[in-house]
Structure 1
Amino acid sequence: MNADISIKNRTTAQALIDDLSQPVLSHFIDGQNYLRKDSATIVNRSPIDDSELNQTALGTEADVNMASLSSEKAFESWRQWPADRRRDVLHAIADRIEANAESIALIETADTGQPLKFTGKTATRGAENFRYFADLCSRAGDGHSYPTPTHLNYTM
């Protein structure tokens, strides 16, 4: 039975990878795929069977600078949004992660070789993180502190 599950999971993971396939996995900057014509690439191989998953673009200092400037620009509008709108967007992201958690876990397993039982929890945890910070959006301006076992967070 385990062999059948493993074959099914590998087949499903490969289909997902094929669906997402591009000639080169590029960067995502300013809301779009971005690839310099002279970008160096690496072959991303699965540690499970050494199969080629994709060609991945290596980022340059210029790519990092472009992404940084894009994030600064995006933050200017994001910070103007009402807290409830930001909360709703972050919850929507969490919803999409949860809806695709199995696919995310399968792709992550193919990419990293980690057992599926761990990558499934990682995908779910990603959604939980978005929900946690989404709910903080509504409270961030209240001036309360939020103690944790190891440190103190506060807002002003």
Structure 2
Amino acid sequence: RRQQTRDMGKRKEKGDKEKAKKSDFLQRLSAQKKILKKPKKKKEQAISTSLATLKDLLPSLEEDSNVSSHLRSKHHITPKQKATLINDEKNHFQAVISHPAYKEDPLSAIELHLKNFVEFENSKVVKRNTLQNQVNQRSSIAAKKQKKKKPTAPKAQKKKKKE
């Protein structure tokens, strides 16, 4: 019996030791968490002060975003379209490489192509602007004509007045 009571005493001590170790571990862990939380608060404060300065930049950013939204493409390419585009580009590249002007002098051939392309794009813009001007002129002429017209009575009412 004496041996059993000794073992029980050891067990209690062992359990107490484990609890003490666990509580010490949890205290160290909580202390480390507190240390880690302090820099986060400083970072949050730094962010909030920088947000105040960003508010001043907001109007200019909105203007820039309006410009860039017009430049962005609204069309999303599907995988099938992407594959066909890649295939077409490969074929075009092979045609460029096999072209005799490119074989003679690649840099001058590319330079000539770029000049022609820029001229072509500029002509497209000019055509688009002239077409838009024509449409605007026609719509303004039509609006003027409608303003000049006086509202008239229907034909059936005119006949009754003549009789």
Q: TM-score when scaled to structure 1?
A: 0.27
Highest RCO, 1 vs 2 (Cα 8 Å, sep ≥ 6): 1
Higher normalized helix content (fraction of residues): 2
Structure having the higher Rg? 2
Higher normalized strand content (fraction of residues): 1
